[in-house]
Amino acid sequence: MPQFSPSQSPLGERFANALVYAHQLHAHQVRKGSGIPYVAHLLSVTALVLEDGGTEDEAIAALLHDAVEDQGGEPILQAIQEQFGDTVASIVDGCTDSVTIPKPPWRNRKENHLKFLEQATTPVLRITLADTLHNARSIYSDLRQIGPQLWTRFKGGRDGTLWYYRSLLELIQVRKPSPLTSELDQVLMAIESWSKS
């Protein structure tokens, strides 16, 4: 894990502005089936990115990783570029599997995004991994509380969701292994084991 000196603050005013902007964009959005404010997911993903050694640009992109896909497509990407710069916009774009409304069919989107990730930058892989890990943690927690009806929340259902998460994990384990990949593997094994019982 990276060590920051006590006098060095890795986050500044840009990050603070991104926190406000992410809240504005997602203020009325909640997590599927739970009613939890969506910003909780964005904060969790950002924490994982920072704990994995992410830069300020990566932390900002983590806060905004769903903004383009969920909150307005290309105009939002342009706004992110104007406010936070080319690097952040490029990372957010790499984490986005669709900018069109309505979105293309789920399986096609995921297959295309997996192909893209084969050549994606380390920041895109780090945020995608953190996003998937937090989603998997949430699925496992909800699965234990409400059971297999949980899977009706997801367009890919149980089999599609687990296929996508496993495919993504296998890809990132080759390109950017980390403690996050190990944890995702453990969480997925727990979900798979619970689902079989």
pLDDT of residue 7: 39
5 DSSP assignment: -
Distance CA(9)–CA(155), nearest Å, equals 41
Q: pTM of the predicted model, to two decimals?
A: 0.91
Rounded to whole angstroms, how far apart are CA atoms 29 and 38?
5
| φ/ψ (deg, to 5) at 122 | -60, -45
Q: What is the pLDDT of residue 85?
A: 97
Q: What confidence score (pLDDT) does residue 33 get?
A: 72
Question: Could you report the per-residue pLDDT of 69-114, keeping only the tens digit for each?
Answer: 888 889 999 999 999 999 999 999 999 988 877 778 999 999 999 9
Query: Does the N-terminal peptide bond of residue 102 adopt cis geometry, omega within 30 degrees of 0?
Result: yes
Residue by residue, DSSP assigns 111-131 as: HHHHHHHTT--HHHHHHHHHH
Share of the chain above pLDDT 90, in %: 73
17-61: per-residue pLDDT in tens?
999 999 999 988 888 777 889 999 999 999 999 999 999 999 999
CA 141, CA 90: separation in Å to the nearest integer? 32
Of the residues 57, 66, 69, 97, which is catalytic?
Answer: 69
Q: Among 70, 111, 142, 183, which one carries the catalytic annotation?
A: 70
Helix 56-63, helix 13-26: angle, nearest 10: 10
Per-residue buried b or exposed e for 7-33, using 16+ beta carbons within 10 Å of the residue's own CB: eeeeeeebbeebbebbeebbeeeebee
Has 185 been annotated as catalytic? no
Q: Which of 88, 86, 78, 79 is nearest to 56 (CA)?
A: 88
Cα–Cα distance for residue pair 171/115, rounded to 1 Å: 10
Q: What secondary structure does DSSP assign to 140-172, as a single string?
A: HHHHHHHGGGGGGGSTTHHHHHHHHHHHHHHHH
Assess whether 70 carries a catalytic annotation: yes
